[in-house]
Structure 1
Amino acid sequence: MARTGITFDDVQRAIDTLLQRQEAPSVQKVRNILGTGSFTTISEHLREWRTRREERTDVPPPQGMPAELQALAEELWSQAQTAATDNLSHYREEADRQVTAAQERVADADRRAEDAEQRESALSAHLVTTEKRLQESIANSARMESTVQAQEQQLEKERQRSAQLEDQLARLQQENERLAQAHQVALGELQAEHTERLRQEEQRHETAEARLMGMLDDARQERQAAEKSHAQKLQQAEQRYETLQQQLQRVRADLLEEEKHHKETLLARSRAEDNARARQHENELLSERIEEQKRQLATQAERIHALEAKLDEKIWSLAAQRREAARNEKESDTTASTTSDS
């Protein structure tokens, strides 16, 4: 709905003013003439004005005029309608562009407002963070002040200790000077003593050098004798080496002969072992056969014992039967004789 501040008549008068200036009406131009009003309200009134104008363009020219005038009027009316339609299309395009631009400006304003809100939120968060950092800085500053005070106290103690050390250093420097003087005196005495000892050492060195030269001559003579003895021993060793080489060759020949004999012995031993293993295998087979025959004989003996036992039982049974038959026959004979006597 349009606002009550700007009416359709106000927009109509502004449009008429623009048409008199031969300017296409638009939302921005109407607002510039009125000096107030929202773009939405002006756009709605401008749309209504265009709708009414389109409705008026459909009205036909008046009737009852002469034919030539009627034709001319219709032609003029058609041209006017075409021009009005073209102007109206132009106005519509211009209005649509202005509405689009206004909508873009509104969207841009909304985006800016959102950006401003986001910046405000970010600034608020940054402010909170800054306040926290400020509080931490204040706490750190307090700790630093206490640390500085402690360090100042420690520094004062160090200064006092430094003064004590300086006094002690002065005393030590005096003592050092005294010791340096004593050291110089002792050094002179030591140097004199060292000079005397050096002279004595030179004398001993000369004596030792003479003794060493004598020992060196003795060593040279001993070396010559040792070299001569070594040459003789070397010659003897070479002769002995040749003898040992000859003995080694003979030993190698004997060793080859012994190896040959050993190989023959091993071959014969291997053959004998093969024969022994074959005989042992045959003996094992014979033993197995003997054991099998023993088992068979034992089985047959058991069977024979069983048969003999059965035979004895049958013999005893037959003997008992015979005795029983004889007794029965005897009893029959006795009975028969008794009957005949009667």
Structure 2
Amino acid sequence: MAITAEQIIDTAESLVARGQSPTLSAVRNALGSGSFTTIGETLRNWREQYKVRQREAAQMPMRVQEALAQAGAIIWTESMRQHSAQLNAERELFNTERERSEIERNEAIELADQLARDLDQLRDEYAQSQQAAALAHDQQLIAEERSQRTAALESALREAEAELAVTRSQVETLRTECAEMRQDAHHALREVEVHRMHSLAHETAVDALRTELSDARTEADAMTQRAVTAEAKVQTLQNALYAAKTR
């Protein structure tokens, strides 16, 4: 909210009533804020009006004029003439000093306003630097999190690849064993066919071999399914790792 002229004048008169000098800085401190230019212009107008009121209050009372009207008219007139001449000289000196003071005050106000603008700019730059630092910190945390996620995916991928290699090795071993068992079963079946007419015991052996062969096939199928599952898991981890690296 902007400071009004009435607030500035009330503050200045309040300082005078307390016996304090209503300087530019004192009035601004009492107000708490406000432009130096606005306060300085209002104080300058108020000082001129204040001096007029002071001169009017200092005029000779009517009763004194009446008492001295006859006896001191000439003395009073001469005194007023001398006083007026002195007052004019003092007024000229005062005007000269006031002009000089006005120039110095305007320069000081301009400097103060410039300093206030520079301070506001520094505050804005500091706030921007704080925001940039916070953004950089957040980006660093995101990068670290991605790096940790990538490392975890790579570790999981290595474990899955090792598990897949073991599974494949087991599948190959089981396939070899199954092939050997099939070959043995074929030989046994041929032998059983040759000797089946001689002994019923051979039929039992054939059934056992067939059962064993069926179990081997079932186990081989299970190992094959485990290998397929492990390959799918490796492919999923590879896709996740690629997505993490390309973000």
Q: Same fold (TM over 0.5)?
A: no
Q: Bigger radius of gyration, 1 or 2?
A: 1
* TM-score, with length taken from structure 2: 0.43
* TM-score, with length taken from structure 1: 0.33
Task: Identify the structure with bigger relative contact order (alpha carbons < 8 Å, sequence gap 6+).
Answer: 2
